[in-house]
Structure 1
Amino acid sequence: MASSTLFSSAKPQENSMHFLKRPASAGRFAALTAALAAGPAFAQSSTTPAAQAATATIPVDDGWRYSLGFGVFETPKYQGASATRFQPAPIVGVAYGRYFFGSVADANVPFGLGAFLYRDDHFRLGVALSYDLVSPRDTSDDFHLHGLPDINRTAHATLFGSYNLDWLSVVGAVSQDIAGEKEGTTASLDVLGRYHPGSKWTLSAGPGITWGSAQYNQTFFGVDAAGSARSGLAAYSPGAGIAALRVTAGASYLLTKHWSFGARVVATRLPGVVGNSPIVEKKTQMTYGAFAGYSF
């Protein structure tokens, strides 16, 4: 699941070459929209648009930073579902210097605890620990899942890095299930371009890709022999491979140095080995979100 000028109320044209001098409110705004984009269901998945978390450069600020907000999402009930659901989402972010709690800017972590290992004007490298706040998939989500096991919430360890300019972010993240829930490893890469049509508006768009390990793809898209017997679906073992291709588009508006509003649309395609899974009812997945936030 995590965007525009989140950590700055200054005009984009005035600070495009001075990222570290942006007011702290801009960075808080960035962390807030990161949460919106990073985790529509507050559970990490291959459809999570990682680059959304870095739609604005985050200043190297050694002080305290806070953000509160609320988002509403329409998201598939599970990866590959044809049905959707609305998911309200409170958004909280607290940061002190290189340490942060809540939404993890520059990574596809909707809610976690972590630290930047390295930061400068453009590059970020960090680690985070996170835990899913909702289950990625329940059998009760859809009759199509009858007989298949639930996918439980789990803890993740994530290594992430980003390169940020005022008009571009390139974000990569590798995440590993560390709680033994058989959710394996994912690696994501996103590129997001930005355009500022005015001093308060930021428009963003760009592509992304996620690779899933054999264990990850089996848990989310595979059907073992027992599951096949219970559900009537054909047995299927997808193996490792591309788990998602996506395009993200969004708009953010900085009303004041404290209040911000925005919206995001993510179109995800489940390709190849995962898209051919009998679990998948719809290969093209759409996620819509809107948020309001206050930074202080």
Structure 2
Amino acid sequence: MSGQASAQADAPAEAKPDAPAGNWKIAAGPGVYVAPDFPGSRHALVYPIVYQDIDYAGRFFSRGFDFLGAYLLNNDVWQVGADFQLDPTWRRARDDARLNGLGDVQMTVRARAFAQAQISFVTLSADLAQDIGGQKQGLIANGDVLFSLPAGKWLFTMGPGVTWGNGQYMRTFFGVNAQQSRDSGLPVYSVGAGLREWHANAIVSYDISRRWSALGAVTFARLRGDAGASPITERRQQWTAMGALTYRFR
């Protein structure tokens, strides 16, 4: 997940002149999420999601995997705030024979702080997200540069970014300790904090009507450093994608 979900959730939004009046703005609908089976896997998981985009008075929000958040600052240039984020990244030994003996890693909830600045068609975005679910997924940081191009009812957004992981995160997903080595047959592999990946985001949204909208996002990432060289990693190239069709209730 890492930077991909954040970039998708924090993509610059164009104001809709026919948006409903009032403090509440609520949109939701069915979607699909595609992600690697585990970080470094050559296989992908596909599963349905419910995508929501909820805002109250420009101060509180729930959007995608960021299910409960608040803005400290929210204006035409700056968005600064914090939220709780569902991180669906996991790893299950039964899904791949190579993982036997490494132990399972469950999905978790993160506390995230973020800041982004939008200057003309360029958005600079950064966030820190700490595992608070007790799943040893540690701290990750993302930095992204996004370029937006509105075209009628379309909004195209794309740009590069990087993801960094602290020592606990890197050890959980890419390290192999002595006990895991004995149980799995993989060589001992020590890792530390560092750059996990660089990635490129592509996001497109389309206003089908006043009430209906469609959203699609694709992220291509390449694992770097300790993450890319880990004996757990099967493929350095990683793809994540999401699509949703939403109905605006108000």
Q: 1:291 to 1:129 in 2, by over 3 A?
A: closer
- Tell me, in whole angstroms, the C-alpha distance in 1 between the residues paired with 2:248 and 2:122: 23
Q: 1:171 aligns with which of 108, 118, 125?
A: 125
Q: 1:238 aligns with which of 159, 183, 191?
A: 191
Normalising by structure 1, we get a TM-score of 0.76
Q: Does 1:86 align with 2:41?
A: no
Give, in angstroms, the shift of residue 275 of structure 1. 0.5
What does residue 99 of structure 1 align with?
60
Q: Does 1:73 align with 2:33?
A: yes
For the 8 Å contact 1:259–1:292, the answer to whether it is kept is yes
Q: 2:9 aligns with which of 53, 67, 87?
A: 53
Q: 1:271 aligns with which of 224, 231, 238?
A: 224
For the 8 Å contact 1:125–1:161, the answer to whether it is kept is yes
Aligned length: 243
| Counterpart amino acid of residue 158 in structure 1 | R
| Counterpart amino acid of residue 38 in structure 2 | Y
For the 8 Å contact 2:4–2:240, the answer to whether it is kept is no
What does residue 227 of structure 1 align with?
180
Identity of aligned residues (%): 35
Give, in angstroms, the shift of residue 102 of structure 1. 4.4
Q: Say which is worse superposed, 276-285 or 255-264, in terms of deviation.
A: 255-264
Give, in angstroms, the shift of residue 285 of structure 1. 0.6
For the 8 Å contact 1:259–1:293, the answer to whether it is kept is yes
Q: Say which is worse superposed, 86-95 or 143-152, in terms of deviation.
A: 86-95
SS in 1 for 2:4: coil
For the 8 Å contact 1:50–1:190, the answer to whether it is kept is no
- CA RMSD in angstroms comes to 2.0
What does residue 128 of structure 1 align with?
83
What does residue 73 of structure 2 align with?
118
For the 8 Å contact 1:54–1:164, the answer to whether it is kept is no
* Bigger strand share: 2
- Tell me, in whole angstroms, the C-alpha distance in 1 between the residues paired with 2:213 and 2:120: 18
Q: Does 1:147 align with 2:101?
A: yes
What does residue 33 of structure 1 align with?
none
- Tell me, in whole angstroms, the C-alpha distance in 1 between the residues paired with 2:22 and 2:115: 19
Q: 1:52 to 1:74 in 2, by over 3 A?
A: closer
Contiguous gaps of at least 5 residues in structure 2: 16-20
- Tell me, in whole angstroms, the C-alpha distance in 1 between the residues paired with 2:22 and 2:61: 11
- Tell me, in whole angstroms, the C-alpha distance in 2 between the residues paired with 1:239 and 1:230: 22
Q: Say which is worse superposed, 280-289 or 90-99, in terms of deviation.
A: 90-99
Give, in angstroms, the shift of residue 135 of structure 1. 5.6
Give, in angstroms, the shift of residue 173 of structure 1. 0.4
Q: Does 1:64 align with 2:24?
A: yes
SS in 2 for 1:220: helix
- Tell me, in whole angstroms, the C-alpha distance in 2 between the residues paired with 1:79 and 1:263: 22
